[in-house]
Amino acid sequence: GMAVLNAADPIVAKMAKNCPGAVTYFAADRHNPVMATHNAQGKRVVYIEGQSIVCAEGGEVVQQIPLENVPLTRKGTISFQVENAMASVAAAWALNLDWSAVRAALKSFASNADTAPGRFNVFSYRGATLIADYGHNPDAILALVRAVEAMPAGRRMIVISGAGDRRDEDIRKQTEILGDAFDEVILYQDQCQRGRADGEVLGLLREGLAHAKRTTAVEEIRGEFLAIDTALARLQPGELCLILIDQVEEALAHIAGRLAEVSIERPARAAAQGEVRLENQAAA
């Protein structure tokens, strides 16, 4: 068999000693010590060179896939999606799948609400960028912040709650990270407090924002959907809003409903403007 391991994660990389079969390491940096050693030994590695995913074995490049042909990565700007793509390519390589099939799959896959609900689903809303994700731990939050910082936007807003079954320090850490990356924070209490007292999670999230470098506005709202609607009402063209959803299916359905309303508004507005122009022409 073949194990596919992330060389950039020391804990994962050490799992190689427990793998009875071969190992393919992946990491964006091919000069990573684990990658460099594995590559020097002629074993399989997957890394990023320029703007392409590169598969190498025996010191020779076996395959290159341009990141611009992997929409999931947004031309390589979303680092955690680049890692996901590298891992997928390594797994497909281990299964000896035809490279044309691998390329086609990477080119056609989109991380949307249908294929990967709650996993960095990106929408356009009245000229603004809207992202829905089910990230509820500091590592996920850090990855999301890095992704958002790679996306052009003016003001940034975030809608967030916290899972009550996490450690106090983990809940605080989430907003400590977010406070340096977002201008406005909307805190909401999710449906299930998971053993926490009413308002306890919101208090911990506020504590994490105590020394925020960027956040200038914080608001608490009871109810996930009301929090989403509040953010959407404030969102302006060119801005970005990250919504950390709790009830994945229900929240995505709610967002879809708001997007549908906008799509209905556009032709209605265009028709109204057309009527005004006709009236003006008639008056002239």
Q: Return the pLDDT at 165.
A: 80
With a cut of 50, list the residues of the chain below it in pLDDT. Answer: none
Question: What does the pLDDT read at residue 162?
Answer: 85
The matching CATH number, chosen from 3.90.190.20, 3.30.565.10, 3.40.50.1580, 3.30.420.40, for 121-265 is: 3.90.190.20
Structure tokens at 117: 């609900």
Q: What is the pLDDT at residue 278? A: 60
DSSP classification of residue 9: S
Residue 205: the pLDDT is 96
pTM: 0.86
Question: What three-state secondary structure class fits 53?
Answer: strand
- Contacts of residue 151, Cβ cutoff 8 Å, sequence gap at least 6: 74, 77, 129, 240
Q: Domain limits of the chain?
A: 2-108, 121-265
The confidence score (pLDDT) of residue 191 equals 65
Residue 16 host element (H or E): none
